[in-house]
Amino acid sequence: MTATTDGSSGTPGPRAAVAGEPIDATADPAPPAGPPPGAAAAPSEPTESGPTGEVLFAAERAAQRSAEYLLGLQDSAGWWKGDLETNVTMDAEDLMLRQFLGIQDEKTTLAAARFIRGLQRGDGAWATFHGGPGELSATVEAYVALRLAGDRPGDPHMDLAAAWIRGQGGIAASRVFTRIWLALFGWWKWEDLPELPPELIFLPSWFPLNIYDFGCWARQTIVPLTIVSAKRPVRPAPFPLDELHTDRHRPCPARPLAPAASWDGLFQRLDKALHGYRRIAPRPLRRAAMNAAARWIVERQENDGCWGGIQPPAVYSLIALHLLGYDLRHPVMRSGLESLDRFAVWRDEATERDGGHTGGPVRMIEACQSPVWDTCLATIALADAGLPGDHPALVKAADWMLAEEVVKRGDWAVRRPRLAPGGWAFEFHNDNYPDIDDTAEVILALRRVGHPDPERIEGAIARAGNWTLGMQSKNGAWAAFDADNTSPLPNRLPFCDFGEVIDPPSADVTAHVVEMLAYEGRAHHPRTRAAVEWLLSEQEPNGAWFGRWGVNYLYGTGSVVPALTAAGLPAGHPAIRRAVRWLDSVQNGDGGWGEDLRSYRDTGSVGKGVSTASQTAWALLALLAAGERDGKAVERGIAFLGETQLPDGSWDEPYFTGTGFPWDFSINYHLYRQVFPLTALGRYVHGEPSARRNRI
């Protein structure tokens, strides 16, 4: 999700094809692969007098240090991957899974408990992002995990947590997913949870609330949970949790139904009907539904044993298959459990808390891993900072990305059955769910590499470009994984209270595709034109754009402005000027930019927050693309990056600037603090990736 700019020829592209039709990806001429090889410039003596020359010289030095640091992080196989930090529910649920399956071990339990304990807030709660407020469900799950690790209710930190939980309404006020985990051990009643029938698997793709109406991440989670919901397993609870109820004699107080004429009221009554159906569901039909769901799950297991490259579907798939009789030694189960171990990051850090807990290694669970994303962003950053296109590090990165190309059909083909596969996923292994965002950025990265086998590059880009164009939604924009995944119904289900469960088009993904198409010489392609019009219609009155996959309006604006200028909008266009004025207005006094995740809920927080390296870089990428290189705001932003850079060339950034679900699930991509500042510094020093521009 970087921001790159380039123009292209003024030759109009081919006609717009019907959505999902194969598209001739070679119809428009593409620019030569990669920038011309040239040596990465060492810092030169200032050639200008005054502050501008000093800032330029400092930027050159900072870029060189940053490039050296980033090159040192590359794996010998050619990829980059930073830690993907989320919140303690990943670690808590990992421990609960191990308890449920009977595979817990002392080393893992103690290390996970140290990590969880170390993130507890002073008021006893756990947050879902750095500096965030306490969150009830995360706190309940963390508390249970620590109980499983041996912490006692009488321990001071546990008493604080329990009191905080009761003050927020207790277990009864937590999310459905948290209560599902508790139901697995009898700490909550299954009948007090929303019903999720496995017969859902039989609904055709045109029927409302079929599984393909859900975003891919929700779909992969819901299918195995239909089995769990049908089976309603209960393992013996190792201890009671009475201390987490506001009233232990009435742990699940009745909730009044919403009015029948409201969406909430309608779906609450539908849930009651499904509870009634459970009692009369024909056993052969239910058994067939669970078997069909199991086949669906097994067919989507990746080569590394995971599901969709993300932790939650893997956890629930393992539980579901185990309930259907899959032994832990079964190859599907064994490889699935092994894949979960690869999501663990071990650190030799000492963490001490009150209550006699001693330091030792800690274990953090990644919700996902981001090697393709990190590698394409690192490649773009290094190339834009002046690294020669034929540098061995870039060629090796390109080779690795080419080997990761997805050439099989996935769930996206349900809506696009005539479209040929192509593109890239986010993770090491995820052939079922390539994503449009990664695909656009990988193409931009490959174009910067002077590869010794250009035909190999061209073939991969042609396939990926064809697939990307075919995944455009009806409104002219692009989502992350699916086309036209916009049904409003899934978010209304009582079960779906854990975050976004559909995948509508977003400004940031659409911007990256537009930028890629412009770089490929397709700025005048009808599909690009439609996307540009959509982006212009999505601009907020204040001049910013919403950020779906990054925090938040800084990310959206930092993505869209470079895309619009790459597609030919002049710097003087009113939309670009409004964006520049907004960025100027939210710059912090230290010269940087920052935006807190609270901006997803509080309009007063939009564009406000502690300055971070990644968010400062996003603002700079937009301003540089808008022709503001000599402006005071850019000068101050570049200076901020130079002043906050650490001696080894890196930046420190504890704040979460990545988004999984707006507000509900936040991400700290540990490589963002490296790749985006380097990209911004490189473009400040060397200019935009290409001087050619189209005019719309």
Catalytic residues: 437
HEC string of 538-590 equals HCCCCCCCCCCCECCHHHHHHHHHHHHHHCCCCCCCHHHHHHHHHHHHCCCCC
Q: How far out from the chain centre does Cα 244 lie? A: 32
- For 216, other C-beta atoms within 10 Å of its C-beta total 24
Structure tokens at 679: 């990209």
With CA atoms as reference, report the closest residue to 505 among 18, 175, 19, 30. Answer: 19
Helices and strands per DSSP (H, E), number in the chain? 22, 5
CA–CA distance, 413 with 186 (Å, rounded to integer): 40
Residue showing tokens 């850019």 = 634
**Phi/psi of residue 675, each to 5°?**
-75, -40
CA–CA distance, 371 with 384 (Å, rounded to integer): 20
Question: Is beta strand 665-669 parallel, antiparallel or unpaired with respect to 84-85?
Answer: antiparallel
Structure tokens at 379: 């490649």
3-state secondary structure of 593: strand
CA–CA distance, 660 with 669 (Å, rounded to integer): 11
CA–CA distance, 113 with 357 (Å, rounded to integer): 10
CA–CA distance, 280 with 516 (Å, rounded to integer): 54
Residue type (1 letter), 125 = A
With CA atoms as reference, report the closest residue to 355 among 107, 95, 117. Answer: 117
CB 596 within 8 A of CB 608: yes
